[in-house]
Amino acid sequence: MKKVEKEIPHPILQAATDGDLRLVKEMAAAVEDDIIKANALCAAARKDRWEVCRLLVEHLHWDVNKPGDEDATAKYLLAQGADPKITGRLGSPLHLATMNGQCEMVKLLISKGADIDAFHDVHGAPLHVASRLDQVGPMKTLLAHEADPNKVLNLETTPLSLAIKNRSLECVKLLIK
């Protein structure tokens, strides 16, 4: 059997998520990587750990405008039990990963139990999103995991009809396979 190594997140991420102000303060000086800094700040904010955010931004002067590694943040949050089925105004995390062409994130979300056919009133299912935005990579992954290509949006729109309308030959080919 193949051994799977679990990626161990930086300890400051756990401390920020837990709201452990003392531990964050102790570890913060040793963190030089801007991505880890941004991820720690995001992790604290997502858990409403405002005292940690205040420490990092106001006292330690971490730059709130530095981009983080969204994939690493998402992986960390999923490992901590974040619900991959939760939906927001733009749809589910699977909708967003599909919109952004993030094939690895699509695979990760599916492996963590995301609803492959999650339906959003505006965007439809993730396959609709892939068809509309010509996201061939995510579409291949969704279809490989048996997403329903016959879901209908607004009484008439299927992923295939969107792919045809948007002249996405690659998506059309995948959908008629």
Q: Which amino acid is at 25?
A: K
* pTM (two decimals): 0.65
- Confidence check: pLDDT of 159 > 60: yes
Neighbours of 150 (CB within 10 A): 10
Q: How many residues does the chain have?
A: 177
Report, as an integer, the average pLDDT of 51-76.
Answer: 76
For the segment 27-63, what is each residue's pLDDT rounded down to a tens digit?
A: 988 888 878 888 888 888 878 888 998 898 888 887 7
**What is the Cα–Cα distance from 6 to 136, expressed in whole angstroms?**
29
User: What is the CA angle 140-144-146, rounded to 5?
Assistant: 120
Asked if 121 contacts 154 with a C-beta cutoff of 8 angstroms, the reply is: no
Q: Which amino acid is at 12?
A: I
For the segment 87-117, what is each residue's pLDDT rounded down to a tens digit?
A: 888 889 999 999 989 999 999 999 999 999 9
Domains parsed from the chain with CATH numbers: 11-72 (no CATH), 84-176 (1.25.40.20)
Helix pair 34-46, 11-18: axis angle to 10 deg: 20
